[in-house]
Amino acid sequence: MAHWTQDFADYLAQHHQERPGITEEVLGRSLAGHHTPYTWLARAVSGRALTVLDIGCGSGAMSRYLARPGRVIIGLDLSGSELHAAAQRGPGPWVRADARQLPFADESVDAVVSSLGLAVIHPLEAWLGEVRRVLKPGGLLAALTPTVAPMSPADTRVAMHLFRTLRMAPVFPVGIELASGPVLAESGLRKIEDNRERYRFVVRSHADADLLLSALYLPGIADRRLDRATSWLARGVSREGEVRIPIPMRRIVAMKPTE
Ligand SMILES: C[S@@+](CC[C@H](N)C(=O)[O-])C[C@H]1O[C@@H](n2cnc3c(N)ncnc32)[C@H](O)[C@@H]1O
């Protein structure tokens, strides 16, 4: 397990070094009605939160969704390439550091957000303990994490077909059906919300298919499987005009107790 985790950490570092901004390109176009997962995450943060830390910020999407006068949004990530992309898009501050050792003082931030950090940053207890340390009492952690529901029967058919064509599902080191209450409680955080929403990324072209597939964590996948998946998506586009890929998400919100 430890070996696999280190392998995955290396894979993750390379994935983000080669494709900075790729997560934002896909999630920024994944919609439920008119909103993206980032809009939903930003809504969990109180207007009174003036110092917000975005953990695993990638290319800094959340800093744009959270921007408001008087608020500082600190983006933190391990990947230099992602932070370089973030710095070209927004003012920061951008901090290159490990979420498991946050370079901030105790009780120094009003809110923490993390889009996909719960599924990716391992081990959870290490960085959730750090989140608890840097949050002010009463401060919130709001996180998005991929999940398996809700999905309509049509969504399930599309997802299953895609994974069969790839011969694997995207890999997340922490697992995607997190028992959030106990995990948060172990780190001294109290869960106050755990909701689900289904987004869809619509593939209308070969370029869309390539974008989607290159955003997924598919360690070790053979090129021929990626080609088969691209061809399958392309056939769907020529038959129906588009293929709607379901992206179910969970929004988990927790509070640092005041005592
Ligand atoms: C799936 S991406 C999400 C990026 C961004 N939050 C978004 O949704 O657009 C996960 C990010 O977590 C970062 N990451 C992984 N492990 C980390 C760690 N230990 N500390 C800080 N960032 C980490 C990766 O470099 C990557 O940018």
Q: The CATH number of the domain where 90 resides is what?
A: 3.40.50.150
| 159 in a structural domain | no
CA of 163 to the centre of ligand 1 (A): 23
pLDDT at 178: 74
pLDDT at 2 over 90: no
pLDDT at 4 over 70: no
Q: Which of 14-28, 79-93, 161-175 has the lowest mean pLDDT?
A: 161-175
Q: Which residues contact 220 (CB under 8 A, 6 or more apart)?
A: none
pLDDT at 239 over 70: yes
Domain count, the chain: 1
Average confidence (pLDDT) over 106-116: 98
**Ligand 1 binding site (Cβ under 6 Å of any ligand atom):** 12, 16, 23-24, 27, 56-58, 61, 77-79, 82, 98-100, 115-117, 120-121
| 242 in a structural domain | no
Query: 6 falls in which pLDDT band (50, 70, 90)?
Result: confident
| 142 in a structural domain | yes
Helix orientation angle between 153-166 and 223-240, rounded to the nearest 10 degrees: 140
CA of 200 to the centre of ligand 1 (A): 21
Helix (H, G, I), strand (E, B) or coil at 122: coil
Average confidence (pLDDT) over 249-253: 96
Measured by CA distance, the residue closest to atom 16 of ligand 1 is: 121
pLDDT at 179: 75
The pTM is what?
A: 0.96
| 213 in a structural domain | no
| 65 in a structural domain | yes
Which structural domain, as residue segments, surrounds residue 142? 2-148+173-199+248-255
pLDDT at 1 over 60: no
Mutational pocket test of ligand 1: of 120, 130, 171, 174, the residue with most ligand atoms within 8 Å of the beta carbon: 120
Burial tier of 223 (Cβ tally within 10 Å: 0-12, 13-18, 19+): exposed
pLDDT at 55: 98
CA of 55 to the centre of ligand 1 (A): 7
| 230 in a structural domain | no
| 120 in a structural domain | yes
Query: 176 falls in which pLDDT band (50, 70, 90)?
Result: low
| 110 in a structural domain | yes
